[in-house]
């Protein structure tokens, strides 16, 4: 299995990043952050583990290699790799190279053997960081050589005597035997031999002419004894000298006999040339030759030297073993580890190798540019800053590219200065703020990030620096995503994902020796990345806002107001006070006429689906705009008291004296100590200058220096117009007593806790409602509890009225409540809630009308409630002693006038789906997929060893380009493979016979068959021997190759 | 012979039930013996040996003079018996085959005189020259191994092997074999012309009739019978049987086939495959055995004497999925 190379840094950074990312997403409630985080996490997973998979699956074969090599000289070997890899030859040593660049075509690697020797295999280290170049995984393999590689020793000196001058001959042996010396034997006739030397008895015996061969002084072989010491380096020197001597003798025209000790024993034989001598010496092992070895028949002619490494003493040449061998200088192990802090610092800051890939730089610069644009689009940096930053970034990238080979020290100094300035500016921005919460820090932080990115872009000579750029762009985009409120952010997200994915692919392509990324690898990486990302998306719960972060506020496009105390007009003019206008005229807030100083229930607004605002809140709630106290029979009127001015700076705290919460029945604190939560409102359409809020408003973060609060805190009024882009945050107390608590409070006098004037206003009716009062009394007959009365009346409305917005206009002079309750009982929220309020008042219960919005559809990606114009709503607030005003919505129980069955069904289904937690659904889905895959694999499993071997044979044959036909029996297939030239030779037929015996024979399941099957391995594919250097071996009935790892 | 050529342990130990070892020896020696007589036709030798081992009847289709009769005689002699010969001709009568009841004047009784069919190995030469009624006399002898004359059934000697020859090329004055007759032949083979060298050896008095006289039997009748019984015990894996049945069934829907292979054909496909396995010294049938015998076993049942049957079988062998592994 591959092992990772220095995994600590990438893995720990990935884990830290993921954790931080998750935290940010779930505190800020941004689905966009989480989505980006899922993708980044998927990329990290693929990037960190991809190398292991690629390394483990890589198939590397040596295709062709020469049979001979010399120590210290490079040898080129052809390698075929199934994927991109860095291959470092270790034994024999060589230079690291990237292979598999062109799919299926062989690459060349260079071996530089350090020592002589015979190599059947090449031990090499495979390394891969596919597909993104994040983490290198290494694996050591032994690759069989196509043939033996025999490494001859270097050519050493034959010291101390120069054999050429010593022998004095200088002439080459001739083909004609000299007629001197003793006859040594006979040999074949060669043209030019004199007939005198024909050996007639041998000729008669053989039938071919044989001539006598004579011993001549020139033909006397010089005997070189190579007796190698045990120490490898010394042995190497000795072999080099022996080769030097042999070569010197050969150059002098002498025939040479070399005596070596091989693993099988001493070997003595003539060496006609340097190559043969090299091959002999390559096989030589260290050890003593013994005195007799190396002395052929005429022992007198060869006095074996006692000294090791001696050469034939007769000619007086002695190759002695002195001369201290120099230790091999192996540069690969020269890297120094450890060292002092400064050394380590300097090493860490050493610029990496210059990165030449333009595509990689463009992708990285593009990612950063997209991130800057996104930050700008979310309003965190100004247009000017975005433009300048973009221009500088491009310039910096170009400059970095041009100076990548000679980084300028002064540039670094300038950049360091610029970074210091940026940080100083950041802290200066902060020092102007009163509270260091996220709301005040976030935008300066985004600006600082942009500045750092721009500064960094001037110094990105190496790939590592570009990685930082890419990671920085991810962080910058996350900063933008945290503020994103629309799905339009998806465009930035997609563009960034595309660019950074391209960048990552080029990272690996560039790390693996340049060139474009392989399309198949890119597709694989994309698939592998999308899978965990989607799985995470399904499994992780959607983030919801944590309530610990106050988001930044903004003024938006609204202008200043002429009458800042009152509500701005509906016609779009800030100078005109708001009143319930006529629906025929253009109405500002999506058609609802209620956000004004009066709510005219005679008017029929038409409400559209326009998104009015988006709300980020921890829980859905009614967004209260204002409330009305006074009912005149047709309209609800707001109280016209001059609002209280809150003049401190944001956040504005609503003083408790104008925000009655009611006191507990025992006079203590509020009975239901409400927890408070935060809501952030993002205004999309121009709205009235009402500050919406949930429940009881306590604190407002608002981009002005003052704000107005109506008495009773039923309405918070903005001094500026709230146009699109305005953002404000409200902290509200949640007062959600349960029915039991309310029922307990309901036994008290209804108006307990209200001031006298207020209580009078909240039960006042413009005229007597005898029929409505009688109806209310009848419905609530026999019940004294306020809460029960409210519930009974709501139930009655639910069963006796129907909801429709399509009702005729109110007749002039008619009373809304009477017309509704005693007419056709059809109406919408205004009629229904007013009827409830009037009936409650007739029972002496303080009730008032509230207008605002229902929560609106929830968008899980942005974690925002998208409030549409048609979500405008009116409902009733009832006073409960000790609990304050409690909202009741009678409209919720009123059935639709003509509901469509599909709508009802859909609502039910949606509700049901909402109750299933996404984590459970996701887990079930993932488990289902895994189970399905496992079941598939289980179904395709081989039935036994016989079938397993058959499959292995089919796979091996398929790799050789010969697939098994459906009608083919295994024996036929094996026979076809054996005749196939491209297929590796092997024991195909025998294996097929064994498999068939096991599958069809009655005794096939015996231990012998099983053992035979388990021994069988698909033979490795071997190419035909390398050119002419190696004779084709006949009858090499493929031994089973070593197991593929 | 040494019976452990197979490292997988699929060897046949001599003490295997039914004496599979002796069957293997018989098969091997039979092929060797026949090879001395009929040179250069290994397929025909193998078919003859398979017929002997499986007990199925053999039809040899070829032109005159290639050694059909010699093969039959060599087979009979090798199996330690003599060949009974029936020469097909238009005026051959059923009683000439089965035998007749004659009145014995001495004893005053009707006495049954057995015909040539009462032999272990009979050669019906030029079968298609006999008229259909004589051919039908052979139907009973071939399937039921008995002869019924004058309401009395006489069992034929066991084992009983019919070797028939016919000349497919000269159709003048012949009676084409009926389907039921063809279906009773387990195997159909051709001898074919020998190559030039073999023919040269033949004319120099090697092989052929010259060798026939020197031929030594390799077995006796009880040995032959035991070998047949042993061959029946050769293991047939369910997958292989299914494959054979698939092949036979496929012929029934193949294009250009008038009558598909019968269940009897499926049975003989397996039995001859068993014999083929024995010839390969194996105690079990592999799909290759079925493939090897399928042309000889199925083709003659499909076509009308022309080459369509063989083409169909070859096509089916190339398309029917073989059992895995």
Question: Within this chain, do residues A67 and A137 fall inside the same structural domain, yes or no?
Answer: yes
CA atoms of B153 and B314, how far apart (whole Å): 41
Q: Which chain A residues touch B239 with a CB distance below 8 Å?
A: 999-1000
* Region A905-933 average pLDDT: 69
CA A929 from chain center: how many Å?
A: 21
- Same domain, yes or no: B80 and B152: yes
Say if B10 is an interface residue toward chain A (CB within 8 Å): yes
Mutation to test the B interface, candidates A939, A946, A990, A997, most B Cβ within 10 Å: A997
**Is the CB of residue A259 less than 8 Å from the CB of residue A265?**
no
Under an 8 Å CB criterion, which residues of A touch B? 946-947, 949-951, 966-972, 990, 993-1004, 1006-1009, 1012-1013
Distance CA A306, CA A289 (A): 10
Give the pLDDT of residue A314.
Answer: 32
B13 near A CB under 8 A: no
Q: Are A1012 and B7 a contacting pair at CB < 8 A? A: yes
A377 and A496 co-located in one domain: yes
Q: Is A193 helix (H, G, I), strand (E, B) or coil?
A: coil
pLDDT tens figures, B117-133: 888 999 988 888 888 88
Please check whether residues B79 and B138 belong to one and the same domain. yes
Of B9, B288, B323, nearest to A1008 by CB-CB distance is B9
Full residue range of the structural domain in which residue B252 is found: 234-325
Same domain? B133 vs B74: yes
- B169 within domain boundaries: yes
SS3 B142: helix
Q: Which residue of B has its CA nearest to A1001?
A: B284
- Do A843 and A748 share a structural domain? yes
- Could you give the C-alpha distances from A491 to A531, A542, B300, in angstroms and in order? 21, 20, 74
**B21 and B160 both lie in a single domain:** yes
Q: Residue A12 falls within a domain, yes or no?
A: no
Mutate to test the interface with A, among B242, B319, B325 (most CBs of A within 10 A): B325
A1001 to B283: CB separation less than 8 angstroms, yes or no? yes
Q: A950 and B325 in contact by Cβ < 8 A?
A: yes
Instruction: Give yes or no for a contact between A436 and A430, defined as CB atoms under 8 angstroms apart.
Output: yes
Residue B2 lies in a domain: no
Report the alpha-carbon distance of residue A949 to residue A1015 in Å, rounded.
10
Q: What does the pLDDT read at residue B12?
A: 40
**Mapping DSSP to helix (H, G, I), strand (E, B) and coil, where does residue A685 land?**
coil
Interface of B with A in 149-188 (CB under 8 A): none
Q: What is the pLDDT averaged over residues A966-985? A: 80
A821-859: per-residue pLDDT in tens? 888 888 888 889 999 999 999 888 899 898 888 888 887
Whether residue A223 is contained in a domain is answered as: yes
B213 inside domain: no
Among all residues of chain B, which has the CA nearest to that of A975? B288
Q: Percent of chain A beyond pLDDT 90?
A: 8
Q: Are residues A215 and A139 part of one domain?
A: no
Cα distances (angstroms) measured from residue A821 to each of A628, A630, A825, B111: 21, 20, 5, 126
B196 touches chain A (CB under 8 A): no
> Are the beta carbons of B285 and A968 separated by less than 8 Å?
no
pLDDT above 70 as % of chain A? 78
**Tokens standing for A372?**
């800057």
- Residue A532: what pLDDT? 85
Shared-domain flag, residues A884 and A768: yes
State the average pLDDT over residues A725-754.
81
Tell me the shortest Cα–Cα distance from A464 to chain B, in angstroms.
Answer: 52
Q: Which residues contact B109 (CB under 8 A, 6 or more apart)?
A: B103
Closest residue, chain A, to B323 (C-alpha): A969
Q: How high is the pLDDT of residue A1045?
A: 36
- With contacts defined as CB-CB under 8 Å, which chain B residues touch A1013? 8
Residues A439 and A525 reside in one and the same domain: yes
DSSP A876: E
Q: Looking at the complex, report in whole angstroms how far the Cα of residue B22 sits from the nearest Cα belonging to chain A.
A: 19
Of A947, A993, A997, the CB nearest to B324: A947
Mutation to test the B interface, candidates A955, A965, A972, A1000, most B Cβ within 10 Å: A1000
Domain shared by A126 and A187, yes or no? no
B108 touches chain A (CB under 8 A): no
pLDDT digits (tens, 9 = 90+) for A91-117: 888 888 888 877 667 888 888 888 888
Closest-approach residue (CA) in chain A for B240: A1000
Average pLDDT over residues B167-187: 80
- Please tell me the total number of residues recorded for chain A in this structure: 1045
Residue B129 and residue B35 share a domain = yes
In a domain, B183, yes or no: yes
Same-domain status, A929 and A881: no
Q: Is the pLDDT of residue A164 over 50?
A: no
The 3-class secondary structure across A308-351, one letter per residue, is: CCCECHHHCCCCCCCCCCCCCCCHHHCCCCCCCHHHHHHHHHCC
Contact list, A994 vs chain B (CB under 8 Å): 6-8
A1003 and B283 within 8 Å at the Cβ level: the answer is: yes
Instruction: Give the range of the structural domain holding residue A278, as residue numbers without chain letter.
Output: 163-315
Q: Mean pLDDT for chain B?
A: 83
Residue among A749, A615, A644 nearest A707 (CA):
A644
Q: Is residue B72 part of a domain?
A: yes
> Which H/E stretch holds residue B22?
helix B20-37
pLDDT at A31: 81
Give contacts of B237 with chain A, Cβ < 8 Å. Answer: 999-1001
Rounded CA-CA distance A764/A842 in Å is 8
Contact B3/A at CB under 8 A: no
B29 shares a domain with B175: yes
Q: Based on the fold, state whether residues A889 and A909 are members of the same structural domain.
A: no
With helix as H, strand as E and coil as C, how does A381-397 read?
CCHHHHHHHHHHHHHHH
Size of the A and B interface in Cβ pairs below 8 Å: 87
Least confident of A187-196, A950-959, B56-65: A187-196
State which residue of chain A sits closest to B237, comparing Cα positions.
A1000
Residues B260 and B193 reside in one and the same domain? no
Q: Looking at the structure, do residues B194 and B240 belong to the same domain, yes or no? A: no
**Can you tell me the distance from the alpha carbon of A129 to that of A126, in angstroms, rounded to the nearest whole number?**
10
- In terms of phi and psi (left: phi > 0; alpha: psi -120 to 50; beta: otherwise), the region of A148 is beta
> In this structure, what CATH number is given to the domain that contains residue A109?
2.60.40
In a domain, A606, yes or no: no
Contact check, Cβ <8 Å, B284/A950 = no
Is residue A757 situated within a structural domain? Answer: yes
In the stretch 236-265 of chain B, residues with CB closer than 8 A to chain A read 237, 239-240
Segment (H or E) for A903:
helix A901-915
Q: Which two tokens stand for residue B282?
A: 């194996």
Three-state helix/strand/coil letters over A598-632: EEECCCCCCCCCCEEEEEEECCCCCEEEEEECEEC
Q: How many domains does chain A have?
A: 6
Residue A196: CB partners within 8 Å, gap ≥ 6? A179
Instruction: Say if residue A79 is in the same domain as residue A190.
Output: no
Minimal CA separation from B316 to chain A, in Å: 9
pLDDT at A259: 84
- Please report whether residue A725 resides in a domain: no
Report helix angle A31-57 to A463-483, nearest 10.
150
Q: Quote the CA–CA distance of A689 and A1045 in Å, as a whole number.
A: 73
Q: Tell me which residue of A846, A853, A837 sits closest to A746, measured CA to CA.
A: A846
Residue-level pLDDT at A907: 52
Specify whether A747 is located in the same domain as A822: yes
Q: Is the pLDDT of residue A503 over 90?
A: yes
Q: Which of B6, B8, B316 to mutate to test the interface with A (most CBs of A within 10 A)?
A: B8
B37 and B153 within one domain = yes
CA pair distance B172, A20, nearest whole angstrom: 99
A966, A1002, A1006 member nearest B235 (Cβ): A1002
What CATH number corresponds to the domain at position B277? 1.10.8.80
Number of domains in chain B: 2
Same domain, B260 and B161: no
**B222 in a structural domain:** no
Comparing alpha-carbon positions, the chain B residue that sits nearest to A1009 is B8
Chain B residue numbers with beta carbons less than 8 Å from the beta carbon of A1003 are: 9-10, 283
ipTM (interface pTM): 0.85
With CA atoms as reference, report the closest residue to A817 among A1039, A634, A968, A653: A634
Within 8 A of A971 by CB-CB distance, chain B residues are 286, 288
Say yes or no: A824 and A950 in one domain: no
B207 within domain boundaries: no
Cβ-Cβ contacts under 8 Å, B283 against chain A: 1001-1003
Cis status of the peptide bond prior to B218, with omega within 30 of 0:
no
- The answer to whether position A731 is within a domain reads no
Mutate one of A970, A994, A1001 to test the B interface: name it (highest B CB count within 10 A): A1001
Answer whether A560's CB lies under 8 Å from A568's CB.
Answer: no
Are B34 and B131 in a shared domain? Answer: yes
pLDDT of residue A310: 35
Asked if the Cβ–Cβ distance from A997 to B9 is below 8 Å, we say yes
Q: Is residue B8 domain-resident?
A: no
Query: Do the beta carbons of residue B294 and residue B317 sit within 8 Å?
Result: yes
- Domain boundary, last residue among A486, A520, A539: A539
Confidence of residue A591 (pLDDT cuts 50, 70, 90): low
- CATH number, domain with residue B133: 3.40.50.300
Question: Which of B8, B237, B322 faces A969 most closely, judged by CB atoms?
Answer: B322
């Amino acid at each position: 299995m591959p092992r990772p190379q220095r995994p600590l840094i990438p893995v720990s950074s990935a884990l830290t990043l993921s954790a931080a990312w998750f935290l940010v997403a779930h505190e800020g409630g941004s689905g966009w952050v989480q989505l980006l985080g899922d993708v980044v996490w998927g990329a990290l997973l693929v990037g960190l583990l991809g190398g292991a998979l690629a390394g483990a699956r890589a198939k590397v074969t040596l295709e062709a290699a020469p049979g001979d090599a010399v120590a210290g000289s490079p040898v080129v070997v052809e390698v075929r790799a199934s994927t991109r890899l860095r291959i470092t030859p270790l034994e024999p040593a060589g230079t690291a190279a990237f292979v598999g660049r062109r799919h299926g075509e062989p690459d060349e690697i260079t071996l530089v053997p350090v020592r002589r020797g015979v190599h059947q295999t090449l031990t090499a280290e495979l390394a891969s960081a596919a597909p993104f170049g994040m983490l290198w995984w290494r694996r050591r393999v032994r690759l069989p050589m196509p043939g033996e590689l025999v490494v001859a020793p270097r050519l050493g000196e034959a010291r101390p005597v120069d054999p050429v001058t010593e022998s004095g001959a200088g002439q080459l042996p001739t083909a004609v035997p000299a007629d001197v010396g003793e006859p040594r034997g006979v040999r074949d006739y060669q043209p030019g031999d004199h007939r005198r030397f024909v050996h007639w008895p041998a000729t008669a015996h053989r039938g071919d002419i044989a001539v006598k061969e004579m011993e001549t002084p020139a033909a006397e072989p010089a005997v070189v004894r190579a007796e190698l010491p045990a120490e490898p380096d010394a042995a190497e020197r000795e072999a080099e000298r022996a080769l030097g001597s042999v070569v010197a003798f050969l150059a002098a025209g002498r025939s040479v006999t070399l005596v070596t000790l091989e693993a099988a024993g001493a070997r003595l034989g003539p060496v006609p040339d340097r190559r043969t001598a090299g091959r002999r010496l390559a096989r030589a092992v260290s050890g003593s030759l013994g005195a007799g070895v190396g002395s052929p028949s005429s022992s007198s002619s060869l006095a074996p030297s006692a000294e090791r490494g001696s050469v034939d003493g007769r000619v007086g040449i002695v190759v002695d073993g002195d001369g201290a061998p120099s230790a091999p200088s192996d540069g690969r192990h020269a890297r120094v580890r450890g060292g002092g802090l400064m050394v380590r610092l300097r090493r860490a800051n050493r610029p990496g190798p210059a990165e030449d890939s333009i595509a990689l730089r463009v992708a990285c610069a593009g990612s950063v540019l997209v991130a800057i644009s996104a930050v700008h689009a979310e309003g965190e940096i100004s247009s000017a800053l975005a433009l300048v930053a973009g221009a500088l970034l491009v310039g910096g990238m170009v400059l970095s590219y041009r100076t990548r080979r000679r980084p300028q020290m002064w540039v670094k100094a300038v950049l360091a200065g610029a970074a210091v300035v940026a940080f100083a500016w950041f802290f200066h921005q902060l020092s102007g703020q009163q509270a260091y919460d996220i709301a005040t820090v976030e935008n300066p932080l985004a600006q600082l990030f942009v500045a750092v990115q721009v500064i960094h872009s001037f110094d990105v000579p190496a790939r590592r620096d570009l990685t930082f750029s890419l990671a920085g762009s991810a962080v910058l985009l996350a900063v933008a995503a945290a503020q994103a409120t629309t799905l339009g952010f998806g465009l930035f997200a997609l563009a960034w994902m595309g660019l950074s994915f391209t960048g990552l692919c080029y990272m690996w392509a560039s790390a693996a020796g340049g060139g474009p990324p392989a399309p198949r690898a890119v597709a694989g990486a994309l698939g592998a990345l999308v899978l965990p990302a989607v799985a995470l998306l399904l499994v992780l719960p959607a983030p919801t806002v944590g309530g610990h972060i106050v988001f930044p506020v903004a003024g938006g496009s609204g202008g200043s107001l002429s009458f800042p105390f009152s509500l701005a007009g509906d016609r779009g003019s800030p100078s005109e006070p708001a009143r319930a206008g006529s629906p025929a005229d253009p109405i500002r807030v999506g058609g609802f006429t209620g956000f004004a100083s009066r709510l005219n229930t005679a008017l029929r607004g038409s409400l559209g689906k326009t998104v009015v605002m988006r709300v980020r809140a921890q829980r859905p709630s009614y967004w209260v705009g204002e409330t009305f106290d006074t009912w005149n029979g047709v309209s609800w009127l707001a109280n016209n008291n001059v609002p209280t001015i809150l003049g401190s700076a944001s956040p504005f705290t609503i003083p408790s004296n104008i925000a009655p919460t009611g006191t507990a029945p025992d006079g203590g604190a509020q009975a239901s100590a409400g927890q408070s939560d935060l809501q952030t409102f993002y205004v999309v359409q121009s709205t009235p200058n009402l500050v919406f809020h949930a429940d009881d408003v306590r604190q407002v973060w608002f981009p002005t220096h003052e704000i107005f609060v109506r008495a009773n805190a039923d309405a918070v009024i903005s001094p500026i117009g709230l146009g699109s882009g305005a953002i404000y945050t409200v902290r509200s107390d949640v007062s959600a007593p349960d029915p039991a608590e309310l029922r307990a409070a309901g036994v008290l006098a209804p108006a307990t806790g209200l001031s006298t004037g207020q209580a009078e206003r909240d039960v006042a009716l413009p005229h007597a409602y005898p029929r409505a009062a009688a109806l209310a009394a009848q419905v609530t007959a026999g019940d004294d509890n306020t809460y029960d009365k409210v519930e009974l009346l709501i139930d009655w409305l639910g069963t006796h009225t129907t909801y429709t917005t399509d009702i005729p206009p109110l007749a002039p002079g008619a009373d809304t409540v009477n017309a509704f309750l005693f007419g056709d009982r059809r109406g919408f929220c205004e009629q229904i809630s007013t009827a409830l309020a009037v009936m409650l008042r007739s029972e002496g219960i303080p009730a008032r009308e509230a207008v605002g919005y229902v929560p609106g559809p929830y968008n899980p990606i942005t974690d925002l409630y998208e409030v549409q114009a048609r979500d405008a709503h009116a409902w009733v607030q009832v006073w409960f002693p000790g609990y304050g005003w409690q909202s009741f919505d009678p409209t919720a129980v009123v059935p639709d006038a003509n509901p469509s069955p599909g709508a009802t069904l859909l609502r039910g289904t949606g509700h049901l789906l909402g109750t299933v937690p996404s984590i459970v659904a996701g887990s079930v889905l993932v488990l289902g997929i895994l189970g399905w895959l496992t079941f598939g694999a289980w179904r395709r499993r081989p039935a036994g060893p016989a079938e397993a071997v058959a499959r292995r044979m089919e796979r091996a044959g398929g790799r050789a380009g010969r697939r098994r036909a459906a009608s083919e029996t295994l024996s036929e297939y094996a026979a076809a493979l054996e005749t196939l030239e491209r297929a590796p030779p092997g024991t195909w037929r025998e294996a097929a016979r064994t498999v068939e015996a096991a599958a069809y024979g009655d005794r096939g399941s015996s231990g012998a068959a099983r053992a035979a099957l388990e021994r069988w391995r698909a033979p490795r594919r071997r190419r035909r021997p390398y050119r002419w250097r190696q004779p084709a071996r006949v009858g090499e009935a493929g031994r089973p190759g070593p197991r593929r790892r | 012979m040494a019976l452990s050529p197979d490292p997988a342990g699929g060897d046949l130990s001599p003490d295997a039930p039914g004496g599979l070892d002796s069957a293997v020896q018989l098969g091997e020696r039979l092929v060797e013996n026949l090879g001395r007589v009929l040179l250069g036709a290994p397929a025909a030798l193998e078919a003859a040996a398979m017929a002997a081992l499986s007990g199925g009847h053999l039809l040899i289709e070829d032109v005159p003079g290639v050694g059909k009769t010699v093969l039959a005689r060599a087979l009979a002699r090798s199996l330690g018996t003599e060949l009974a010969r029936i020469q097909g001709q238009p005026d051959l009568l059923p009683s000439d085959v089965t035998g007749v009841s004659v009145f014995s004047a001495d004893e005053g009784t009707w006495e049954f005189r057995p015909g040539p069919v009462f032999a272990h190995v009979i050669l019906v030469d030029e079968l298609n020259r006999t008229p259909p009624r004589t051919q039908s006399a052979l139907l009973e002898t071939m399937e039921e191994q008995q002869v019924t004359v004058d309401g009395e059934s006489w069992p034929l000697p066991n084992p009983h092997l019919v070797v028939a020859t016919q000349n497919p090329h000269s159709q003048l004055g012949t009676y084409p074999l009926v389907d039921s007759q063809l279906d009773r032949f387990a195997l159909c083979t051709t001898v074919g012309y020998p190559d030039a060298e073999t023919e040269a050896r033949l004319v120099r008095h090697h092989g052929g009739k010259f060798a026939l006289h020197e031929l030594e039997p390799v077995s006796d009748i009880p040995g032959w019978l035991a070998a047949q019984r042993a061959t029946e015990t050769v293991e047939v894996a369910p997958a292989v049987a299914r494959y054979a049945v698939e092949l036979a069934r496929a012929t029934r829907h193949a294009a250009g086939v008038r009558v598909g292979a019968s269940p009897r054909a499926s049975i003989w496909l397996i039995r001859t495959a068993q014999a083929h396995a024995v010839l390969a010294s194996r105690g079990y049938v592999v799909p290759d055995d079925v493939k090897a015998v399928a042309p000889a076993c199925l083709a003659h049942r499909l076509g009308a004497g022309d080459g369509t049957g063989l083409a169909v079988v070859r096509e089916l062998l190339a398309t029917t999925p073989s059992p895995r592994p």
